[in-house]
A and B are shown apart, each in its own frame.
Chain A
């Protein structure tokens, strides 16, 4: 068997792959979000509340968390039709902050003191299944009718609209789907961490997910997955050497270096 440390690193890698894919989906339609941490929080809090307070089984609560995040995602996705580029990035960032402040004040889930005593339901095989399912979804989506529509929207919105693609439908659907997956990732995270508080889902979390996707390369979902693995494992590898105390400094510097060496992402292709 694996020692607990390796297992926890692997579980976090798996959760991060799910989160990275949740951002990859909207990005693949040209909708960049810096608020994935907010969707993750909604999924994590919903699922954890259902298992701890309502005694629901984990396998029911987890999809409920995803559904909740997905619904909020649909509501947030609608204005994204009017807002583009950097404006959308900063607006989603604002949404993430609003979610964080909401949970900071929401008494039923413990407000600022957090929600504790969550049972550990997230196991390594469970995470592996979740990762495989998400990868499968992305793979299936890519070849499908809607997948090609997504690609068309990213390449040229006007042309896509002209050939009869329903922009509203595609954009809102893909944003909501990404939010739902982020919610599932949050549920998995909550049932491994056993304690969640709003600070865990702040701007830094959203930025981390954003880093994974861009670092891996935005052209393919494999890129997002690789980015998630690098962003999770790299700081852990840095623990090994004598660099323990400097590991986050080195990590930050390495981010800069990687982007200089591979400005299109690790798996990205120059276009």
Chain B
């Protein structure tokens, strides 16, 4: 029973990692770029969510600054055909700016995150669930399902997949790839923003520096699933969440931040492309 409880807790934590990892992987899919400001976008989402105390507030509002990051920091470099690592550096720069702005606007301290709902506790057999946990689970799984439907069923989603497959060919076929890229950025960031609010709700505190840690975990989750693979990112996030919670419960709790990476390195040694990765993105 204890193990099941731990797995449930791990899924709660992991679903936030999944949302962040999906953002990374969406951006990587269309641009082949590791978007290193994504952790900061997540953090800004949490703070906007704190102001609005609404999930949709944190999610939708953060899509705007993220689209700005693309237009200001990434597109000009791509237009000039820079080195493939140049946009990564400029996203680090954009991340520094976001973090500094958040620190100046909200202070460098941890801020409490008011949970605007009654805290109810349910018991199912030996498993305890709080209402906050249920909301987190429902929201993140709901968003993942919505994303799946969007990507597979709608025309825009199809255009997104085509752009990820080959930007040149999809552009030739009449897909406006610039718009698709901005849309991808917006969706990726909205998911990160929602994850920010969810994490704020579950830990009851947020700080301008939380983006780095969560960003690294999200990257790890994306890598575990395989670059550019949305379903891999979902699963990768859950795996890392569960590994983390179980390592705290059964092994040394002080090593919790390292365990996720041990798992990743172990997986990469046997499957260098991640669980669902294709060979397509291994180079570059």
Contact = CB atoms under 8 A, between A and B. Distances in A.
Interface of A: 32, 79, 82-87, 89-91, 93-95, 97-98, 101-102, 104-105, 202-204, 207, 210-211, 214-215, 218, 245-246, 248-249, 251-256, 259-260, 263-265, 268, 270
Contacts of A89: 34
A84 B254 CA distance: 30
A248 B227 CA distance: 31
Contacts of B273: 87
A94 B101 contact: no
Interface in B144-197: none
Most central of B86, B220, B272, B284 by chain A CB within 10 Å: B86
Contacts of B282: 84-85, 87
B129 interface: no
Contacts of B272: 82-84, 87
Given A105-B252, A251-B96, A214 B88 contact: yes
B120 to A, nearest CB: 36
Contact of A79 (B85, B254, B268, B283): B268
A214 B265 CA distance: 25
B60 interface: no
Nearest to B96: A252
Most central of B89, B220, B282 by chain A CB within 10 Å: B89
B73 interface: yes
A260 B261 contact: no
Nearest to A204: B212
B89 A97 contact: no
Nearest to A82: B272
A270 B86 CA distance: 12
A90 B94 contact: no
B77 A93 contact: no
A218 B95 CA distance: 22
B97 A252 contact: yes
Interface of B: 28, 34, 36, 72-73, 76-77, 80-83, 85-90, 92-97, 100-101, 104, 212, 216, 219-220, 222-223, 227, 252, 254-255, 257-258, 260-262, 264-265, 268-269, 272-274, 281-284
Given A252-B93, A256-B90, 20 more contacts: A83-B272, A86-B34, A89-B34, A91-B268, A93-B219, A94-B264, A95-B265, A97-B257, A97-B261, A203-B212, A207-B92, A214-B88, A248-B100, A249-B100, A249-B104, A252-B97, A255-B93, A256-B72, A260-B76, A263-B83
19 contacts: A32-B85, A82-B268, A85-B283, A87-B223, A90-B219, A95-B265, A98-B261, A101-B257, A102-B258, A203-B216, A204-B212, A210-B89, A211-B92, A215-B89, A245-B104, A249-B97, A253-B97, A263-B80, A270-B81
Most central of B72, B73, B104, B284 by chain A CB within 10 Å: B73
Contacts of B268: 79, 82-83, 87, 91
B274 A248 contact: no
B17 to A, nearest CB: 14
B89 to A, nearest CB: 5
Nearest to A211: B89
A79 B269 contact: yes
Given A86-B34, A97-B257, A260-B90, A91 B100 contact: no
A174 B81 CA distance: 29
A218 B220 contact: no
Contact of A101 (B255, B269, B274): B255
B255 A105 contact: yes
